[in-house]
Chain A
Amino acid sequence: MNATAKILTYELQDVLRSRGVIAYAVFFLLLTEALLQFGSSTASVLLSLMNVVLLLLPLVSLVFGTMYLYNARDFVELLLSQPIRRPHLFGGLYLGLAVPLATGFLAGTCLPFLWHGVEAASHAQTLLVLALTGTALTFIFVALAFLIAVRFEDKARGLGVALVVWLFLAVLYDGLVLLALHMFANYPLETPALVLTLLNPVDLARVLLLLQVDISALMGYTGAVFERFFGSLFGVGVASAALLVWLAVPLFFGLRRFNRKDF
């Protein structure tokens, strides 16, 4: 077992005992359970969950992630005074938070469906896409949080930056896209729109979910272009690659910074 795996094991023990992650899982559990109890249909339950996954999940991952790393500073110092290489520690810390968060999300959203059952196969597929995109967003936004936390020494400043990043990716970016689409309304926009979608992980996740949920509304030309793209092996490859880039780039710069950082 290498050092990353060892650190991960102890981080898991630590994080799983902290109330935050438990509360996070319980939140998803109660939310899903309540939606399934009181929601009118599985489709509307999935829609509500989708909104939570696209908005709340990135926010929680960012805030949790930055706070976690700021709070772990003493622990980091302790471990760095041990014979442990920094990349191993960084990897252990990252997985030590991202894995429990993703697990909490998955358990919270999927378990209620286990005992309530899923109405139709199409809903099961939507749930699967929801679980996958939610997990991907968790890993991406924890990576962004780590980059922010190692980049900014000051906790308040780091938290502020995290909120701005969330606001931009989850809300403002779409405003800019809408503006661009209307400014260039006279040109064929399907391909540029596709590219713009790939550039924002939240948008990418949203469109992947749209293709599951709002299939009837998306049956127009735009929808056809997108469905053909994301329905093809090539499209799935590009979408996965885009998500991986969103994961790798913050992790790379975060680690580089972490390696050079003074504690």
Chain B
Amino acid sequence: MIPVSSHTLSIDGLHKRFGALHVLRGIDMQFEPGSVTAILGHNGSGKTTLIKTILGLVKPDAGRLFFDGQKLSADAAYRARIGYMPQIARFPENLTGTELLAMLKDLRGNPAALDEELLGAFALKNELAKPLRTLSGGTRQKVSAVIAFLFQPSFIILDEPTAGLDPVASRVLKDKIIDEREKGTTFVLTSHLLSEVEELADRIVFLLDGQIRFAGTATDLKATTGHPELERAIAHLMTEAAA
């Protein structure tokens, strides 16, 4: 398959094994600029592995990834254009939030263009002075979200972004996602909250046993499965697989 440069990210024939476990079995995907893709699937379906492969945390056994038309290699420069919010945010225990942000900025050569909107929206100023180990799980999630958006990336990966956030913070984050998409940022997210998926995602990719079982809009999914509610439609895909 020839990479199409209009895609932010294109994945081509991706395979990954962990020992005997064949986690990803031939994934082909394209991500359009300014789109939000939700990757769904039950536990162990390969969602996190797929995300980590995009980030270069996991090395694929076969297949190629192209980011902005460039093949991914050991060169880490492409990650300057990716923002990532992991499922569970854990940081060096003894650093403060301020120091962590300073470190990340420093590591990227202190770029001038920064998006610190979430910092204010989450009212984090006071929390940043404390050592990260003393922060609550929710606060750490907020710090993690700030980091994901901080460097104005063109591609943002959010792994269960609202898990652990209170409803207010959750709303702030979702609004931020919608705003940024309007500006052309590409999103990939995973979530267990289907309402969230329905609200944010342009496209749903359903992974099953390391393969793409379904890819398309929510409307397509409902039409294909014949269920008017997304939750039922997803459940349908899962039971179908089990059968």
- Which residues of A pack against B, CB within 8 Å? 3, 6-7, 10, 13-15, 17-18, 72, 74-75, 77-86, 259-263
Q: Is the C-beta of B52 less than 8 angstroms from some C-beta in chain A?
A: yes
Residues A83 and B103 in contact in the complex (CB < 8 Å), given A259-B74, A262-B52: no
Contact present for A77 and B94 (CB under 8 Å): no
Interface contact A260-B95, CB-CB below 8 Å: no
A81 CA / B18 CA spacing, docked (Å):
20
Give which listed residue, B57, B82, B94, contacts A18 with CB less than 8 A. B94
Contact B108 A82 (CB under 8 A): yes
Q: Is the CB of A83 within 8 A of B106?
A: no
Interface of A, secondary structure class, is helix
- The CA-CA distance from A13 to B99 in the complex, in Å, is 9
- Whether B79 lies near A82 (C-beta < 8 A) is yes
For residue A177, give the distance in angstroms from its CB to the closest CB of chain B.
39
- One of B28-36, B85-93, B117-125 contacting the partner: B85-93
A75 in complex: contacting residue of B18, B92, B107, CB < 8 Å:
B92
A15 CB to closest chain B CB (Å) equals 8
Q: Is B104 interfacial (CB-CB < 8 Å)?
A: yes
- Which residue on chain B has the smallest CB distance to residue A3? B107
Assuming the contacts A74-B90, A86-B74, asked whether A80 and B95 have C-beta atoms less than 8 A apart, the reply is: no
Interchain nearest-CB distance for B17 vs A (Å): 10
Q: Which of B80, B88, B104, B107 has the most CB atoms of chain A within a 10 A radius of its CB? A: B107
Which residues does chain A contribute within 8 Å of B108, judged by CB atoms?
82-83
B183, CB-defined interface residue at 8 Å: no
* B215 close to chain A: CB less than 8 A: no
Contact A262 B57 (CB under 8 A): yes
- Contact A84 B93, beta carbon cutoff 8 Å: no
- When A84-B107, A260-B59 are in contact, do A14 and B74 touch as well, CB less than 8 Å? no
Q: How many A-B residue pairs have CB under 8 A?
A: 76
The residue of chain A having its C-beta at the shortest distance from the C-beta of B147 within the complex is: A78
The interface residues of chain B lying within 8 Å CB-to-CB of A75 are: 90-92
The docked-state distance in angstroms from the alpha carbon of A121 to that of B75 is 53
Interface size on B, residues (CB 8 A): 30
**Across the two chains, which residue of chain B brings its CB closest to A88?**
B76
In the bound complex, residues from chain B placing their C-beta under 8 Å from that of A14 are 92-95
Asked whether, in the complex, the Cβ of B76 is within 8 Å of the Cβ of A85, the reply is yes
Which residues in chain B, 59-110, are within 8 Å of chain A measured between CB atoms? 59, 74-80, 82, 84, 86, 88, 90-95, 99, 103-104, 106-108
Which of chain B's residues has its CB closest to A261's CB? B59
**Please, which residues of chain A bring their CB within 8 A of the CB of B91?**
74-75, 78
**Taking the nearest CB of chain A, how far is it from the CB of B24, in angstroms?**
12
Contact of A80 with B56 in the complex, beta carbons under 8 Å: yes
Q: How far is the CA of A259 from the CA of B75 in the complex (A)?
A: 12
> Is B86 touching A78 in the complex (CB atoms < 8 A)?
yes
A6–B127 Cα distance when bound, in Å, is 24
Asked if A85 contacts B55 (CB within 8 A), the reply is: no
CB proximity of A170 to chain B, nearest CB, Å: 30
B52–A13 touching, CB < 8 Å: no
Nearest 10 CB-CB pairings of A with B:
A74-B90, A17-B94, A83-B80, A81-B84, A83-B79, A262-B58, A263-B57, A14-B92, A10-B103, A85-B76
Q: Given the complex of chains A and B, what is the CA–CA distance between A128 and B55 in angstroms?
A: 47
Docked complex Cα distance between A14 and B91 (Å)? 11
Contact B90 A6 (CB under 8 A): no
Given known contacts A10-B95, A74-B90, A77-B57, is B79 in contact with A262 (CB within 8 Å)? no
In the assembly, what is the distance between CA of A80 and CA of B94, in Å?
Answer: 19
Q: Which residues of B contact A78 (CB under 8 A)?
A: 86, 90-91
Complex CA–CA separation, A256 to B63 (angstroms): 22
A68 to chain B, nearest CB (A): 11
Contacting residues, chain B, for A72 (C-beta < 8 A)? 92
